[in-house]
Amino acid sequence: MNNLIVICQSGGKFSTASDGSLSYVGGDAHAISVSRETKFDELRLEIADMWKYGTDSMTIKYFLPNNKRTLITISSDKDVQRFLDFHGNSGTVDVFVIKNESSTALAAVTPSTTEATPVPPRKRSTRKRVIQQEYPLNVTPVAQAPAPAFLASASASENAGGFNSLAPVPTEVQSVGQMKRVKLWENCITGLHQQFNNVREVRDAFRKYSIAQGFTIKFKKNDSMRVSAKCSVDGCPWRIFASRLSTTHLFRIKRLNEIHTCGAGTSTDSHPRASKKVVEGIVKEKLRDSPNVKPKEIANQIQQEFGIELRYSQVRRWMEAATEEIQGSYKEAYNQLPWLCEKIVETNPGTAVSLNTREDLSFHRLFIAFHASLHGFQSGCRPLLFLDTMSLQSKYQSELLTAAAVDGNYGIFPVAFAIVDVVNDDNWHWFLVQLKTALPTFQPITFVADRQMGLRQSISVVFENSYHAYCLRYLSEELKRDLKGPCIHEIIGVIVGHLYDAAYAPTLDAFRKCIESIKSISPEAYDWILQSDPENWANSLFHGARYNHITSGIAESFYSWLTELAALPIIKIIETIRHKLMELIYTRKVESDQWLTRLTPSVEDKLQKEILKAQSLQVMFSPTNTFEVQDFLGAVNVVNIDAWDCSCREWQLNGFPCLHAVAVLQHIDRDVYDYCSKYYTTEAFRLTYSESIKPVPTVDKPVLGESSEVQVNPSPLRRVSGSPKKRRIRSRGVVKRPLHCSKCKGEGHNKVSCSVVS
């Protein structure tokens, strides 16, 4: 028979139908191939590896053909053969992997047997033998805990390296988490044939097992191909050896002598000894689970779970080392920037990249605009860009400058970004120059940005005939800072609300009405607003086209993940942004392929609302293309069809017909969709996302060391927030004034500590 495709399902639950039949709902699924030669142990091992279950902690079941009421268990080689006999004529069959709740087996455990299977001979490695003694951090037991605790003091050699003695835990501390973890570590080594994913897992398992069993180990061989260890007590026969399987990265235990003559694991008062590397491994595991965790939180967790009391400085030092190991070196990441820039341009032709350093080769600024983003902006987006800045989580000075657009469905569309060492007028001007070079467009662009970022002059110089619309969020924050006076905090919210109403007001009369309301509340605020260049933020006075967008923070919705992550090397930041852009473009491209409307869904919904409201309007006939439209209150608006203009100004501001224009167009039997901006069409949206960002392979990524040539150094370290602590230093020769007691008139004490009885 041909191999049978087996769909393995786990993590879900069974539900019973009214007829008694069972169905499996939820969970995860994997597919494997099973043949007549497949043994039960092989099948069980492969399935366990899928979900990282212990082989003894799960049960494998299946349904008989045409019987969904009875589950059959697979527990032997004969059961596997019967399973194949029953379903031999099927193309695929489902099996259900049920995890046993009572089992405490480790996820990485594989079945152990009493004898080792023959291993093909391998040429002996010529690597130099590495003998490594695991110097322990001594341990004192936690009171009344069945499993011993850890770490009371460190050896002198480790203290010299900065790892000071660790204080014992108070006797009243009892940790259930510690007992569970130590109990779990007892199963780190289960026997021969146990497999590990890599050499690090092997070393980690050896160390944890020795802690749980109460002895220390000495590594005899410890390289990338093989790891062997022995009990550190002279004469004790306990030995273990694991080596890498050929053509894979997997490791398997080949030899194991589990006999101890030193008393390890048998004495009730034996003290497990945790090495420095084990504690570092615990810190690293917690950092992987919670990248944003604080050193103090990790120290508290380790004390509660393991009885180990660590100093803040120790945990912070280990966290920095673990972060660098997980994410890569922050310093080397800067030196890899030239390589990354070259690979981005090579894999994404048409991408604009510019990297600048200072005279001392320290990082200055980096600009990136992918070809897919530039093409999408020029092909399908409105000529509207939002400029904003964001601080990056980094140990070095680094800020993010962004330029983003809005697609036809009101979604954020990142166009370009730059990482700079500091936000100032010079870096913003440079950013705009790079953007202008990447966007050789002839049409005017409207920029929405803060008026205080040094952009007013740069925008007019770099992008001639363009417009600068002030971000109202920054403007309102500036207003709050500048307003003074009694009770101002009680009315500032009302003033800001009227400010936003004034900005959104489509007509000059509506704008004046809003600021008059502000004048009645605070004449000072009224004067401030009139002097804040309303022609750059009010709809009724603005000459450019900003499509009713009055704030620049639209890009925050895309880049907000940067503030949620822990500090990343600069290479990782750039690569993560690229991955996010790839996902964004692909997802929206796939979504738009399902659209059947002429306009994007968001605009289609807005237009339908205008069509519904237009039914109650009355159109006055006109022989020209200018019409009067009257509502049920008698108010009249004038619509010019040829100029795409309405006296309410909503058509001009939004880019699609307002209710008055819709009434006229339907009255003269014209298609409303012909009078919508081309940027709102589904066709334009698909053009926006027609190009994709290509992956950047890292196979040839240079591995830089201390001897590598330095091309880019990190920018200066980020200064810690807050004012520096000041310590008064007395001048030499100045004698401290002695204390005088006002009660007994004596010197050297005051009346509080005076011993004279009154």
Measure CA 131 to chain center: 40
Distance between CA atoms of residues 46 and 50, nearest Å: 7
Rounded-to-integer distance, Cα 579 and Cα 592, Å? 20
CA angle 344/348/350 to nearest 5° reads: 110
Cα atoms in the Cβ-side hemisphere of radius 13 Å centred on 150: 30
Give residue 749's identity as a one-letter amino acid code: H
Instruction: Give the Cα separation of 15 and 24 in Å (integer).
Output: 6
Strand-pair category, 58-64 with 67-74: antiparallel
Catalogue the E-assigned strands of 604-648.
618-620, 626-630, 636-640, 645-646
Phi, psi torsion values for 619, nearest 5 degrees: -105, 130
Q: Which backbone phi and psi does 437 adopt, to 5 degrees?
A: -65, -40
The tokens describing 100, both together, are 């046993």
**Sheet containing strand 412-420, strands side by side:** 352-357, 363-369, 412-420, 399-406, 384-391, 446-449, 467-470
Asked if 65 contacts 56 with a C-beta cutoff of 8 angstroms, the reply is no
| Angle CA 423–428–433, to nearest 5 | 155
**Global pTM value:** 0.61
DSSP state of 127: P
Tell me if 446 sits within 8 A of 466, measured CB to CB. yes
The secondary structure of 315-377 as a DSSP string is HHHHHHHHHHHHH--HHHHHHTHHHHHHHHHHHSTT-EEEEEE-TTSBEEEEEEE-HHHHHHH
DSSP secondary structure, 510-556, as one string: HHHHHHHHHHHH-HHHHHHHHTS-GGGT-TTT--S--TT---SGGGH
DSSP 370-411: -HHHHHHHHHHS-SEEEEEEEE---SB--EEEEEEEE-TTS-
- Give the whole-angstrom CA distance, residue 56 versus residue 629: 79
- 3-state secondary structure at position 421: coil
Which are the contacts of 94, defined by CB distance < 8 A and separation ≥ 6?
A: 6, 7, 9, 24, 62, 63
Inter-residue contact 381 to 558 (CB < 8 Å)? no
Strands 412-420 and 446-449, how do they pair? Answer: unpaired
For 280, residues 6+ apart whose C-beta sits below 8 A from its C-beta are: 318, 321, 322
Alpha helix stretches (DSSP H) within 422-487: 425-438, 455-462, 472-482
pLDDT in the model for residue 548: 86
Asked if 383 and 444 touch (Cβ cutoff 8 Å), the reply is yes
- Rounded to whole angstroms, the Cα distance separating 697 from 499 reads 50
Q: What is the mean pLDDT of each run of 10 residues along the chain (758 residues)?
A: 83 78 83 86 85 82 82 86 83 86 37 38 39 39 34 33 35 43 71 85 82 79 86 87 86 88 58 61 73 80 72 79 73 89 94 93 94 94 92 84 94 94 92 92 86 80 90 89 79 90 93 92 91 92 89 79 72 90 93 94 94 91 86 90 92 93 93 94 96 84 61 76 47 59 81 72
Closest among 369, 373, 404, 374 to 387, alpha carbons compared: 404
Q: What span, in angstroms and rounded, lies between the C-alpha atoms of 263 and 236?
A: 9
- Distance in angstroms (rounded) separating the CA atoms of residues 147 and 181: 10
Q: What is the pLDDT of residue 205?
A: 84
